[in-house]
Amino acid sequence: MRLHYYILDVFTRQKLEGNPLAIVLDADDIDSLTMQRIATEFNLSETVFLMRPRHARHLTSMRIFTKTRELPFAGHPTVGAAVLLGLRHRSTAVRIEEEIGVITAITEKFSETSGNARFTLPQLPVEAGPAPDADALSSVLGLKPDEIGFESHPPSRFSAGVPFTLIPVANAAALRSIKVERRGWQDVFGDKESSVYVYTQTPEEKDCDLAARMFSPMMGIDEDPATGSAAAALAGAIAAFSNLGEGQHAFTLRQGVEMNRPSRIRLQFKIEEGRLNHAAIGGDAVIIGEGNLDLP
């Protein structure tokens, strides 16, 4: 069996930046175990498999795998796949069937190998239980307890399909200084697959509003350069704690700078009657290569 694949860098226009993504085409005849083994072979944060859609009005069905498990939704695979499909099919609207639901992405072409995609979140972020206290969080992040939190933002847990512990820190210097301590991680977070998104405001930076880092050591991800599903969850915390007021709001978030993989994620959401009622995520992507898998 021969399968064609592409490699893209997502949440960036620059090759060798952002978050790499493998996209395997025409994967209808591959079983779940083989998909997981291929994702492990690529050894990227996520690999996706495109298949025939269940409904004719949709362009594709997609399954998303990390190196260790399948996900119902993820932002960087959705953006990357939408950009690739938009380029290949010369389309500005791409409907993708994911486990979480059908996602319609609006795409824009920059060149033959790059573009942008944005999509409404299929599930608005909701609270996902209590977060650990500042003392416990500081012990596994190598920070001081008084560096946890800023303004009215406490640690929280939100999910827009994938749950994250969201940890605000005082400033970009604190974010930069994090040193993850694996010992005690599961004791603090409970779930062995718990993922953590640490974020802060960046008032001194002109090209972004927030900065973040994502860690999931128990899932084999020491650090992720760009995490769309975490940014989607973060929209819930921003709406809950930032006192933004009614109407439309937009934020640009940087991630991956500390890994030398700078990324930009764009968030848009709307608050009506004090509640989040719409949220969207977007970013750029660029193709950096393609090839074939030769399987038994």
C-alpha gyration radius of the chain:
18
Closest CA to 91 of 73, 115, 75, 74: 115
Q: Judge whether 201 and 150 are in contact, CB under 8 Å.
A: yes
E-strand stretches of the chain: 2-10, 19-24, 47-51, 60-65, 70-71, 93-98, 101-111, 114-120, 126-127, 156-159, 163-168, 196-201, 210-216, 221-224, 247-255, 263-272, 275-294
d(CA 106, CA 61): 17
Q: Judge whether 208 and 264 are in contact, CB under 8 Å.
A: yes
Phi, psi for 193 (deg, rounded to 5): -105, 15
Which one-letter amino acid corresponds to residue 11?
F
The widest CA-to-CA distance across the chain, in whole angstroms, is 57
d(CA 76, CA 7): 12
> Other CB atoms closer than 10 Å to residue 289's CB: what's the count?
13
DSSP class of 30:
-
Provide the annotated active-site residues.
46
Which one-letter amino acid corresponds to residue 34?
T
> Other CB atoms closer than 10 Å to residue 53's CB: what's the count?
16
